[in-house]
Structure 1
Amino acid sequence: MAVELTTPSVLPTLATRLSQRRDLVTEVPGPESRNLHDRRTSVVPRGVISSLPVYAADADGGIIRDVDGNSFVDLGSGIAVTNVGASAPTVVAAIREQAEHFTHTCFMVSPYESYIRVAEELAELTPGNHAKRSVLFNSGAEAVENAVKIARLTTGRQAVVVFDHAYHGRTNLTMALTAKTMPYKSNFGPFAPEIYRMPMSYPYREENPNLTGAEAALRAIDQIEKQIGADSTAAILIEPIQGEGGFIVPAPGFLPTLADWARSNGVVFIADEVQSGFCRTGAWFASEHEGVVPDLITMAKGIAGGMPLSAVTGRAELLDAVHPGGLGGTYGGNPIACAAALASIDVMREHDLSGRARAIEALVMGRLRALSDDLGGEQGPIGDVRGRGAMIALELVKPGTRKPDPEITKAVASACLAEGVLLLTCGTFGNVIRLLPPLVIDEELLLDGLDVLEAAIRAAH
């Protein structure tokens, strides 16, 4: 029997262009998606994979419509990108208006105001009241690489500390920073040197369940001091909530303790907020939940409503230390992407998307924890329910154990797709279902998606 939902309506309905209801009119995938897949195999390499076998034709709010006319509940947001929806009218209008004037000049050649306005917004939105500077790029990996460059230049040190289960990108340096080998790193080496990996705070999988966040941080700090030395460490780079690694929320005290040690030892503390930024976790940035003020923040994904844009924002003295010409890129801070970012930020403010993320958390967490209890609690297939805001995960395990169960995870994702719900998996062990709905999703549509997810888990169990 399905768990009854008693939560009152908490998500005011927003205007949308497409009907916000799940509707399957063909099998999944349908004939047009299958035709596109056949065409794809002759021109796109197999190294480029897609999580889902359906091809999009339209998207709006919490709905993705495929080329066969099927409407799916979107619980992935293009990996936390379309926080404001895939075709928010304000964003679309800003893109159209900018494109009618110019699409590119290169900020390093002929600058423009929108780049400056984005930097002004980031100075206001990111944690801390200190003087800040921002530099814009195209992707999260570019932002991370440049943050490392800045840290190494300003400290005169080389070593960079990262953590188990981390994901930071697919370029050579960011592959070295990333923990998981397959599919991200396997056979792509050699990788950049002077990268050191430390144990993460992973509350569900700690051998000592009573280990506090501060104690977990001191465990990592002890290894840093023994293996590297503070005077050789340029930066600590960490996702405040790990993304691809499994939506791991470190125990309270972990991040502040690391940040305090870094500050005391002249080490640059870099928060990788590529996936967790821009209202996703119920705050503008996940660092805010524990009052952490990073020296540098890397951002991308949700910043620009689907347009390619990323940024490094941080202490003015760090970014200003870089010599003229040392930062930049041909497309970095593209004017259309900047226009989309400014419009997206307006939508986030106008509709209080941080508040909506917190409402989504209350609704989804209550539902999933009740389901976990109903399926046997610690003896059931749901090992852990975790996350913040609209960044929520289910870790699935062999019942009665903590052994990861990637098979049931795949089965659940496939069953949801067959019923018209698009969701993503992740985790070092491939056993985590992650929920990343657009922050503008309609409540009835979200509940419908949760109904399908619950039924799939019960059937697989």
Structure 2
Amino acid sequence: MGDKRAMPAAEPQIETDLPGEETKRLVEADERVISPSSPRAYPLAIERASGVTVTDVDGNTFWDFASGIAVTNVGHNHEQVVEAAKDQLDTLVYPAFCDYYSPEPVRLAERLVELAPGDSSKQLFFGNSGTEAVEAGMKLARHHTGRHRFIAFEGAFHGRTMGSLSLTASKTKYKRKFGPLVPGVDHVPYPDQSAADGPEDALERTFDALEDLLRTRVPADEVAGIVVEPIQGEGGYVVPPEGFHQRLREFADEHGMLLIADEIQTGFGRTGEWFAMDHWDVEPDITLMGKGIANGLPMSAMVARSDVMSWESGTHASTYHGNPVAAAASNAVIDVIEEEGLLANARTVGAHLQAELTDLAAEVDEISTVRGRGLMIGVEFTDPRTGEALGDLSEEIMHAAWKRGLMILPCGQSTIRFAPPLTITREQASTAADIFADAVADAVVATER
């Protein structure tokens, strides 16, 4: 591993009450001018960041074990990524890639089609956000197949624009008052490897639901594609049973449907492989990329097999797609992951962190499951007597951890997600697990009162 990870960052240091006075002033200003639709986990106002360390406007330092939301995979403001973006800023900011050609995004595209799961020849469309990649994938699937329907999964999150929102099925508030959405989307259960009745039964429930859907409500020859997260993100960091993706690939092939993998949160080393589908050796027809692609600069990509990328010039485009500054950052991200051995680090440190959290679960009755791959780990809290989700407890734990300097975020009904930078060390993972354990202990006591 590189020298940058040989010396762990100083532990979090909280110097003021939280939130501090400068943070309070910024929050008040924000509330006056920023749309209330933008959710905030807790009142943290970030001034600067480096690696895993975030400093707020009051001078408190935190460890970001959410990486934004699985975005800063090589750590905040990685020197190599920042330098690449700065160099590109000095050369060219906007080439109108939708009308002309530019070297940096083409160089990136050549690398991404090689890194995407599977050995087939591929082509790529750049976007600016994950939801744009999803929309592009939906449009391409309809155009290529001549079909209009989609199948997605309960608990899925694919974005908040109208097409992607139609696929999303994780929280009702995302859809309230926005209907009618894009028609022709149906959802089936996503199988959970840690299901109470076992992974085999969970797997069969999913495929029984798929068969029932085609038998009773949806003509198979109208379905353009099946959209799936290899590991569910917002739905609770849910890992599917072994064999799920292979069977889903077979099911799609049997019915002439495209398999569309949403790797927006699972990509760029998050699970210990470049993309999570690599764990199962399954090649999607379309792979959606975003979040960690450029370490914080706005960029996404929709990669498809060349025979699927069958639409003609002008069918789909975007003013800012293929931005060379974001492309330069993304090329640097790929370099850093390769040069610093971050895939292997995500696997080894991720296994260590998951083991530490599993040890904690043995001591805390309210932790029902610890699950994940690489540095994408979820800790779920349920009532040990009833099995009901303890959403209030997980929220309390999240805030208690923040007040100790550990930034984590929720997902699912009552799961805390761990998605730290791929650069963290075993020592940092252990320290974070200790901070989390203290937060859990205090939150459990507080909720019992």
**TM-score normalized by the length of structure 2:** 0.95
Match of 1:420 in 2: 405
> In structure 2, what residue type is equivalent to 1:253?
G
CA–CA separation in structure 2 for the residues paired with 1:389 and 1:210 = 20
Match of 1:59 in 2: 49
Instruction: Decide whether the 8 Å contact of 1:415 with 1:456 is kept in 2.
Output: yes
> In structure 1, what residue type is equivalent to 2:383?
K
Instruction: Decide whether the 8 Å contact of 2:8 with 2:425 is kept in 1.
Output: no
Q: Residue 393 and residue 269 in structure 1: after superposition, are their counterparts in 2 closer, same or farther (change >3 A)?
A: same
**Correspondence for 2:156 among 166, 173, 177:** 166
CA–CA separation in structure 2 for the residues paired with 1:408 and 1:350 = 40
Residues 68-104 of structure 1, C-alpha deviations (whole Å, 9 max, x = no match):
1111011110100000111011100011000011211
CA–CA separation in structure 2 for the residues paired with 1:358 and 1:18 = 18
Q: Is the counterpart of residue 254 in structure 1 residue 237 in structure 2?
A: no
- Structure 1 residue 196, shift from structure 2 partner: 0.8
Q: Residue 203 and residue 355 in structure 1: after superposition, are their counterparts in 2 closer, same or farther (change >3 A)?
A: same
**Correspondence for 1:441 among 424, 431, 434:** 424
**Correspondence for 2:287 among 291, 297, 313:** 297
Match of 1:349 in 2: 338
Q: How does 1:72-221 map to 2 (within 5 A)?
A: 72-205=62-195, 208-209=197-198, 211-212=200-201, 215-221=204-210
For structure 2, list consecutive stretches of 5 or more residues without a partner in the other structure: 445-449
Q: Which segments of structure 1 move beyond 6 Å, counting only runs of 4 or more?
A: none
Match of 2:61 in 1: 71
Q: Residue 210 and residue 416 in structure 1: after superposition, are their counterparts in 2 closer, same or farther (change >3 A)?
A: closer
Residues 166-214 of structure 1, C-alpha deviations (whole Å, 9 max, x = no match):
00000011111100344311112111101011111023345x4252565
Q: Is the counterpart of residue 288 in structure 1 residue 278 in structure 2?
A: yes
Match of 2:361 in 1: 372
Instruction: Decide whether the 8 Å contact of 1:18 with 1:59 is kept in 2.
Output: no
Aligned length: 443
SS in 2 for 1:255: helix
CA–CA separation in structure 1 for the residues paired with 2:203 and 2:391 = 31
Instruction: Decide whether the 8 Å contact of 2:148 with 2:224 is kept in 1.
Output: yes
Instruction: Decide whether the 8 Å contact of 2:192 with 2:202 is kept in 1.
Output: no
**Correspondence for 1:224 among 206, 213, 218:** 213
Instruction: Decide whether the 8 Å contact of 2:118 with 2:283 is kept in 1.
Output: yes
- Structure 1 residue 445, shift from structure 2 partner: 2.8
SS in 2 for 1:176: helix
**Correspondence for 2:253 among 251, 263, 267:** 263
Two-structure CA RMSD over aligned residues (Å): 1.7
CA–CA separation in structure 1 for the residues paired with 2:409 and 2:199 = 31
Q: Is the counterpart of residue 411 in structure 1 residue 396 in structure 2?
A: yes
Percent identity (aligned): 37
User: Bigger shift: 295-304 or 393-402?
Assistant: 393-402
Match of 2:372 in 1: 387
**TM-score normalized by the length of structure 1:** 0.93
**Correspondence for 1:402 among 363, 369, 387:** 387
Instruction: Decide whether the 8 Å contact of 1:18 with 1:60 is kept in 2.
Output: no
Residues 255-285 of structure 1, C-alpha deviations (whole Å, 9 max, x = no match):
1101111123221000000000000001000
CA–CA separation in structure 2 for the residues paired with 1:13 and 1:386 = 30
Instruction: Decide whether the 8 Å contact of 1:172 with 1:192 is kept in 2.
Output: yes
Q: Is the counterpart of residue 457 in structure 1 residue 440 in structure 2?
A: yes
Match of 1:27 in 2: 17
CA–CA separation in structure 1 for the residues paired with 2:273 and 2:386 = 34
Instruction: Decide whether the 8 Å contact of 1:165 with 1:200 is kept in 2.
Output: yes
Match of 1:238 in 2: 228
